[in-house]
């Protein structure tokens, strides 16, 4: 990581040799107004491309631990994404501009240690975001490595599609999407767990019907727009929630390959996360009729996996009754909060508190 130290220059004045030496000594031994620049953050959040520091999955991003009073970051974006920037735990939205720009993420802070977490509110098809560098007037600190992780796998519900919309009649826009307020993100913060979200709107597990790609096709991608390689086992992942089936079973569909493909997914997740509890979730969208058919299929997946020796797989019903809706009938903020409670209760029942 290149470090650039800068001292504020003294005014150009005419001094004799003795006075000039005195001021040179002061600049040498007194604290300088230093700046430290890094090309990689203190910690990545979620899945990020190692080659060029691009992140595209919803909820992916970076954390910066530093000691100082200000911090800026240089990012490259399509101009349609937005980040949730938490400064010492206080979140604020940041809309990104097209191209490469420098963003002042903190300024005028008290001197001391601070943390910034910046994660994508928006999902991958809108375009990747690239981390270029970050600079503080102080110094960067080592990252804190989380003890436990939660992985959330799903479709538009898990991505936060239309979560901040004004009602079911509004259409999708990047401005109404917010992964930060999804059930998985809320539950992870309450449990004190790091979160990795792998979610794509419209995706499912069935290859029948109109579905071109399934979650099995993209789950190993570095970003939703880039192909990847199978992920390595990660023993720090203690829970994985899979919320798929809505796009497979809606509109009276009952795909014949869903159970088989879901069992394949469970097998792959078990290899990647050997110690994790897996939660096969469903809800809250879909008609009651479609939900009943999908629920029966997912319960069959749990039974088939158990027959093969799987002991840490649970079915999780997330069909909460909504008080209101986001865009296109998607779960609102309040519905996601209710879903988060159910997920948190399930994880605590198996693992206990993580905070």
pLDDT of residue 136: 98
pLDDT at residue 305 tops 80: yes
Examine the pLDDT at 10 and tell me if it is beyond 80. Answer: no
pLDDT at 2: 38
Mean pLDDT score of the chain, rounded to an integer?
89
Average pLDDT value for residue range 28-40: 65
pLDDT digits (tens, 9 = 90+) for 277-300: 999 999 999 999 999 999 999 999
Name the helix (H) or strand (E) containing 217: helix 215-218
Cα–Cα dist 86/61, whole Å: 12
* 207 pLDDT more than 90: no
Mean pLDDT of 198-213: 85
Cα dihedral 149→153→157→161 (10° resolution): 80
What are residue 175's phi and psi, to 5 degrees?
Answer: -70, -20
Q: Is 115 helix (H, G, I), strand (E, B) or coil?
A: strand
Q: What mean pLDDT comes out for the span 177-194?
A: 97
Q: Summarize the confidence of residues 88-93 as an average pLDDT.
A: 97
Q: What distance in Å separates the CA atoms of residue 88 and residue 65, rounded to the nearest whole number? A: 10
Q: Which pLDDT belongs to residue 228?
A: 82
Q: What is the pLDDT of residues 141-175, one digit of tens each?
A: 998 888 899 999 999 999 999 999 999 999 999 99
pLDDT band at 209 (very low <50, low <70, confident <90, very high): low
- pLDDT for 352 equals 67
pLDDT given at position 144: 87
């Amino acid at each position: 990581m290149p470090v650039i130290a800068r001292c504020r220059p003294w005014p150009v004045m005419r001094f004799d040799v003795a006075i000039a030496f005195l001021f040179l000594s002061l600049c040498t031994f007194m604290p300088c107004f230093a700046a430290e620049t890094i090309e990689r953050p203190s910690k990545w959040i979620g899945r990020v491309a190692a080659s060029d520091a691009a992140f595209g999955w919803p909820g992916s991003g970076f954390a910066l631990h530093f000691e100082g009073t200000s911090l800026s970051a240089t990012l490259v974006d399509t101009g349609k994404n937005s980040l949730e920037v938490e400064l010492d735990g206080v979140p604020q939205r940041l809309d990104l501009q097209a191209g490469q720009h420098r963003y002042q993420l903190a300024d005028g802070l008290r001197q001391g240690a601070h943390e910034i977490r910046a994660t994508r509110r928006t999902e991958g098809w809108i375009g990747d975001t690239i981390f270029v560098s970050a600079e503080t007037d102080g110094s960067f600190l080592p990252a804190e490595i989380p003890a436990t992780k939660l992985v959330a796998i799903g479709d538009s519900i898990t991505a936060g599609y239309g979560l901040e919309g004004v009602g079911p009649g509004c259409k999708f826009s990047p401005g109404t999407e917010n992964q930060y307020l999804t059930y998985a993100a809320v539950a992870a913060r309450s449990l004190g767990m790091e979160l990795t979200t792998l979610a794509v709107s419209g995706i499912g597990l069935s290859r029948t019907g109109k579905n071109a790609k399934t979650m099995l096709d993209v789950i190993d991608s570095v970003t939703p727009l880039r192909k990847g390689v199978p992920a390595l086992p990660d023993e720090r992942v203690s829970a994985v929630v899979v919320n798929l089936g809505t796009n497979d079973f809606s509109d009276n569909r009952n795909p014949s390959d869903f159970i088989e493909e879901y069992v394949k997914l469970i097998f792959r997740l078990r290899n990647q996360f050997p110690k994790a509890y897996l939660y096969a979730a469903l809800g809250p969208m879909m008609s009651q009729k479609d939900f009943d058919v999908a629920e029966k299929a997912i319960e069959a997946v749990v039974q088939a996996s158990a027959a093969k020796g799987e002991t840490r797989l649970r079915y999780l019903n997330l069909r909460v009754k909504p008080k209101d809706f986001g865009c296109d009938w998607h779960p609102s903020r309040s519905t996601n909060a209710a879903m988060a409670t159910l997920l948190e209760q399930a994880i605590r029942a198996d693992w206990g508190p993580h905070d």
